Amino acid sequence: MPQASSISVLVVDDQLTMRALIRNALQQIGFKDIREAPDGEEALKNLLAKPANLVISDFNMPKMDGLALLRAVRSHPPIRQTAFVMLTGRADRELVQRAVQFGVNNYCVKPFTVQGLRDKIEQVFGQLT
Amino acid sequence: MDELEAIKVTFFQECEELLADLEGGLLAMQDGNDDGDTVNAVFRAVHSIKGGAGAFGLEPLVRFAHVFETLLDAVRSNEVPATPDLVVTLLRASDVLADHVSSARGLGVVDEAVSAAMAAELKACTDPNAAPAPVAAPVVEAVAFEAAPVAAAPAETLIGADDALDDDDLGFDFQPMTITIDEQAADVAAAAGNVWTVSIRPKSDLYRKANETALLLRELARLGPIEATLDASAIPPLDMLDAEAAYATWTVRLETEEDETAIREVFEFVDGDCDLEITRGEGLAPDAALAALLAGEAPAPVAAPAAPEPVIVAEAPAPVVIEAAPEPVAVAPVVEAAPAPVAAPVAPAAPVAAAPAAAKTQQIDVPGPGQSVIRVDPERIDRLIDLVGELVINQAMLAQRVGEYGIAPSSNLAMGLDELEQLTREIQDSVMAIRAQPVKSVFQRMPRLVREVASMTGKQARLVMDGENTEVDKTVIERLSDPITHMLRNAIDHGLESPEERKAAGKNPEGVVKLAALHRSGRIVIEVSDDGKGINRERVHSIAIKKGLISPELQLTDEEIDNLIFLPGFSTADKISDVSGRGVGMDVVKRSVQALGGRISITSRPGQGSTFTLSLPLTLAVLDGMVVDVAGETLVVPLAAIVESLRPKPEEVRPLGPVGSVLAVRDSFVPLIDVGLTLGYRDSSPPPTEGVVLLVEGEDGSRAALVADAIHGQRQVVIKSLEQNYQQVDGVAAATILGDGRVALILDVDAVISLRRREPPRPAEPTLIAAE
């Protein structure tokens, strides 16, 4: 049972509000090491400089979208195993299917609650303490 | 919950940006720029607004944004073509969306009827065959997703609300892929096994044969991710540098699945022209720190610079829990450095006393993007600017005292003070630069205004903007909005003709209104021009006479007639329209602009259009001025207005009329104005030859010679508003505090010139603003 506080998270979303909300939710779950990036490009740079255990990423972002980020993460050996949870809207079904092909660990449909997000993360890491 | 409130504030700030992006994107589409990126950016803006609004339960906003987004999605996927008409609709929809945002913020109300009509219009655009069919239930293919459905407690915040549906799977088979942190760590470690260190030291022959290191690096990068470090320590000082020689050494950390042969192949063509070393694993100590960083560790203090064997983190048996290992693990393959994953991660466990090399690698740590932009409460900056203003005054006082004590300018004290002055200036400039903003924030509100005014007046207008990135102090920006709004309204309402009239005149039915910003001689100039009919001078002239604003026998130039519209009580509109006639005339605009030390004027060409020109100081905080004495008072004359200063010779002064006189300056004559007399400091002027003359130029280019008793020197002064602290005084722009602590008034040069003109005993004559 991993401890939430020992899992490092990178939140990727082009919207400051959304990053703040997700950060807030993660803090409620017990995460402490939370970083942010506004797009895939920054996220990848960030990860290569300092890997994280978990990436929570939006899909539609400028420069490099969530799907491209996922592919990039999976093709860089040191960070290949980063857990990747994609945030999607209901309309993005095909997108999630593609994300599955590229090895997404889980997805979370907006809107979600703190508990909903927790469940999704626990499905990947096991129950969090 | 407080935190959520704070995020909500952020959300509304972000909405402003998103709305601007939305409008910007739509305007780009209007100009025919409808590539995928632009359309997607437009979509994303609405999508993001909707997402955030959902999280805060802003229902009306979510509903409207949803309809809008649906249409944009269809445009994005080319199901609905982005015709010019559609873009116009989208622009109007963006206005309604902006209203919804303001309403959600509590800053106004949405016209429900308008919103509903707009939503219906958007829906019709999305599906032209609008069979108002009930929304079909989504086709569920295979529901096998095991996740427990989230019981959405109503009190709980829904994050990133999209559609108001609460089941959270998309109806297809998906098993979350579990992962353990140990695997990740092992992966990070394993990756180090594929690491090569390639050291390249080109010889000069390499360059002579027109090869280039960059090409080699690019080739290497084809094999896998590289990190290249340049060792430039061998480069001699410039005077000893041989331009033909090669000094640099590159150390490349390459991650690749390929073997050494593949790496050597890259260097096939430069064989012998460079020293090449290829080793498996990380390089030596300094690189180890970098590698450690890349492996997610805190930078290693280079405690063991001689660590001979490459550090292979892979040898560390799992489990290595990355973030729980604040201790540097990189120096040697030691596992005990990874304590049990109990401790909360100590954020970057910076070895403060580490060697410079470690400090250097730390910089490689990519800062989170959130850190690259700091949002600061503007009040803090204002406070800083005030303080810097005090600092400037204080420094000036100090310098003056030192001067009074007769300390030699070459003394250490005086030189130190000079340096202090320099620094103070720099601090002031830097602080002012923080508050400087591009006029974009004001300009971006204008396209909507133009659309609304045009549709209200039945005109067709297109706004062209230029110089949106021109920067000006925030205090000025805030005051630009009103005059620009007014000038634009005026340009469309009074300037542009109706589409029919334009056609008849052989013009494009769509009028063009141009809004431009530029810097000119230390001021910001805003120009609003239209290609309309221009000012009807006869009519303006006759109205001004009819309203008793000017006397009929007064001979006026065309320019003077044009500028009569700024006279108080002047309004050419026969009927007060909803647009320009909001009870505020151009005279009010002019007065508010003048209060800021600005000028406004208009030029016009019949049949071709008019141009409003507004000029304002770049900042309302400081001013470069000339300190002069007049009748025992100390005044500051803005340096920007001064052309030259001189001592008039008796033969250069010629009388003109009963009281006036002019000064011959080279080939022209300029009116002599005794500042002391004009401001009422004295009743009669001493001969101008006893004083000093400042040749000044007004905003409109008119010149005058101001007579003062003595010049003290040039100084930067901090502007203190006279209106805020006292009241407005004719001929005085503001006040300041001098080095000796006295208050000095800052002269409003243009006002002094015009005061002088109406001075001589014809009290009935109105001020001719045009001539100002």
Give the percent of chain B with pLDDT over 90.
3
B347 touches chain A (CB under 8 A): yes
Contact B148 A105 (CB under 8 A): no
| Residue bearing the bigger pLDDT, B330 or A3 | A3
pLDDT digits (tens, 9 = 90+) for B74-95: 888 888 888 888 888 888 888 8
pLDDT at B567: 78
Find which of B203-212, B619-628, B672-681 is predicted with most confidence, using mean pLDDT. B672-681
pLDDT digits (tens, 9 = 90+) for A75-98: 887 788 889 999 887 667 788 888
Query: B326 pLDDT exceeds 80?
Result: no
Tokens of B581: 């006639």
Cα gap B522→B516, rounded to integer Å: 16
| Residue bearing the bigger pLDDT, B169 or B766 | B169
| Residue bearing the bigger pLDDT, B549 or A106 | A106
Find chain A residues with C-beta within 8 A of B165's C-beta: 90
Query: B489 pLDDT exceeds 80?
Result: yes
Nearest to B169 by CA among A102, A65, A7, A120: A120
| Residue bearing the bigger pLDDT, B626 or B715 | B626
pLDDT at B134: 42
| Residue bearing the bigger pLDDT, B320 or B386 | B386
User: Nearest by CB to A113, which of B152, B178, B296?
Assistant: B152
pLDDT digits (tens, 9 = 90+) for B237-264: 888 888 888 888 888 888 877 777 888 8
Please state the rounded mean pLDDT for residues B628-657: 87
Note whether B767 and B550 are within 8 A (CB).
no
Please state the rounded mean pLDDT for residues B492-517: 89
Cα gap B510→B535, rounded to integer Å: 19
Find chain B residues with C-beta within 8 A of A21's C-beta: 7, 52, 55, 157, 159-160
pLDDT digits (tens, 9 = 90+) for B724-757: 777 777 888 888 888 777 889 998 887 888 776 6
pLDDT at A102: 87
Contact A78 B187 (CB under 8 A): yes
Nearest to B150 by CA among B173, B166, B163, B127: B166
- The burial class, CB within 10 Å (0-12 / 13-18 / 19+), for B585 is buried
Nearest to A48 by CA among A68, A26, A15, A75: A75
Nearest to B569 by CA among B585, B591, B552, B592: B585
pLDDT digits (tens, 9 = 90+) for B42-77: 888 898 888 888 888 888 888 899 889 888 888 888
Find chain B residues with C-beta within 8 A of A33's C-beta: 323, 345, 347
Give the percent of chain B with pLDDT over 70.
75
When computed from its CA atoms, the radius of gyration of chain A, rounded to whole angstroms, is 13
What does the DSSP 8-state code read for residue B720? B
pLDDT at B130: 54
The total of other beta-carbon atoms located within 10 Å of residue B666's CB is: 6
Find which of A39-53, B198-212, B560-574 is predicted with most confidence, using mean pLDDT. A39-53
Q: CA-CA distances (angstroms) from residue B662 to B556, B651, B692, B703?
A: 22, 11, 14, 11
| Residue bearing the bigger pLDDT, B666 or B346 | B666
Note whether B620 and B718 are within 8 A (CB).
no
Residue type, B143: V
pLDDT at B363: 35
Cα gap B201→B251, rounded to integer Å: 9
Contact A50 B293 (CB under 8 A): yes
Tokens of B154: 């109503």
Residue type, B359: A
Phi, psi angle pair for A108, to nearest 5°: -135, 120
- Calculate how close chain B gets to A14, using CA atoms only, in Å: 9
- Strands B732-737 and B599-605, by their bridges, are unpaired
pLDDT at B372: 60
Q: Could you identify the residue written with the tokens 């700024």?
A: B566
User: Nearest by CB to B150, which of A49, A97, A119?
Assistant: A119
Find chain A residues with C-beta within 8 A of B184's C-beta: 51, 53, 81-83
Contact B148 A35 (CB under 8 A): no
pLDDT at B163: 46
Cα gap B661→B646, rounded to integer Å: 16
| Residue bearing the bigger pLDDT, A63 or B152 | A63
DSSP string over B739-759: TTS-EEEEE-HHHHHHHHHH-
pLDDT at B595: 67
pLDDT at B527: 92
Phi, psi angle pair for A76, to nearest 5°: -105, 110
Q: What average pLDDT does chain A have?
A: 87
Tokens of B238: 């410039």
B183 touches chain A (CB under 8 A): yes
Tokens of B477: 């920006």
User: What count of CB pairs under 8 Å joins A to B?
Assistant: 222
Cα gap A51→A9, rounded to integer Å: 9
Please state the rounded mean pLDDT for residues B120-127: 84
Note whether B743 and B657 are within 8 A (CB).
no
Give the percent of chain A with pLDDT over 70.
98
Cα gap B69→B52, rounded to integer Å: 14
Please state the rounded mean pLDDT for residues B211-216: 83
- Calculate how close chain B gets to A67, using CA atoms only, in Å: 15
Q: Could you identify the residue written with the tokens 């509000």?
A: A17
Half-sphere exposure of residue B483: CA atoms within 13 angstroms, side-chain side: 30
- Strands B622-630 and B633-638, by their bridges, are antiparallel
Query: Which residues are bridge partners to B165 per DSSP?
Result: none
Q: What average pLDDT does chain B have?
A: 74
Tokens of B159: 């994050």
| Residue bearing the bigger pLDDT, B395 or B175 | B395
pLDDT at B296: 41
- Calculate how close chain B gets to A104, using CA atoms only, in Å: 7
Residue type, B129: N
pLDDT at B576: 43
Residue of B nearest to A118 (CA): B150
Query: A57 pLDDT exceeds 90?
Result: yes
Query: B300 pLDDT exceeds 50?
Result: no
Find chain B residues with C-beta within 8 A of A16's C-beta: 10, 14, 370
pLDDT band at B164 (very low <50, low <70, confident <90, very high): very low
Architecture of domain A4-125: 3-Layer(aba) Sandwich (3.40)
Q: What is the dihedral of CA A86, A89, A91, A95, to 10 degrees?
A: -10
Query: B173 pLDDT exceeds 70?
Result: no
**Domain extents in chain A:** 4-125
Find which of A54-58, B31-35, B93-97, B263-267 is predicted with most confidence, using mean pLDDT. A54-58
For residue B567, the SS3 value is: coil
Print the SS3 string covering B348-369: CCCCCCCCHHHHHHHHHCCCCH
Q: What is the dihedral of CA B700, B704, B708, B713, to 10 degrees?
A: 50
| Residue bearing the bigger pLDDT, B314 or B32 | B32
Print the SS3 string covering chain A: CCCHHHCEEEEECCCHHHHHHHHHHHHHHCCCEEEEECCHHHHHHHHHHCCCCEEEECCCCCCCCHHHHHHHHHHCHHHCCCEEEEEECCCCHHHHHHHHHCCCCEEEECCECHHHHHHHHHHHHCCCC
pLDDT at A54: 93
pLDDT digits (tens, 9 = 90+) for B425-468: 888 888 888 888 888 888 888 888 888 888 888 888 888 999 88
Query: B135 pLDDT exceeds 60?
Result: no
Cα gap B276→B252, rounded to integer Å: 11
pLDDT at B575: 43
pLDDT at B515: 93
Asked whether the bond before B319 is cis by omega within 30 degrees of 0, the reply is: yes
Cα gap B57→B104, rounded to integer Å: 10
Query: B516 pLDDT exceeds 90?
Result: yes
B387 touches chain A (CB under 8 A): no
Cα gap B364→B206, rounded to integer Å: 30
- The burial class, CB within 10 Å (0-12 / 13-18 / 19+), for B5 is exposed
pLDDT digits (tens, 9 = 90+) for B691-730: 899 998 876 667 889 999 999 888 878 887 777 777 777 8
Tokens of B532: 């309309």
Nearest to A74 by CA among A90, A98, A108, A109: A98
Note whether A8 and B345 are within 8 A (CB).
yes
B36 touches chain A (CB under 8 A): no
Q: What is the ipTM of this complex?
A: 0.85
Cα gap B283→B307, rounded to integer Å: 10
Query: A15 pLDDT exceeds 90?
Result: no
For residue B661, the SS3 value is: strand
Residue type, B185: A
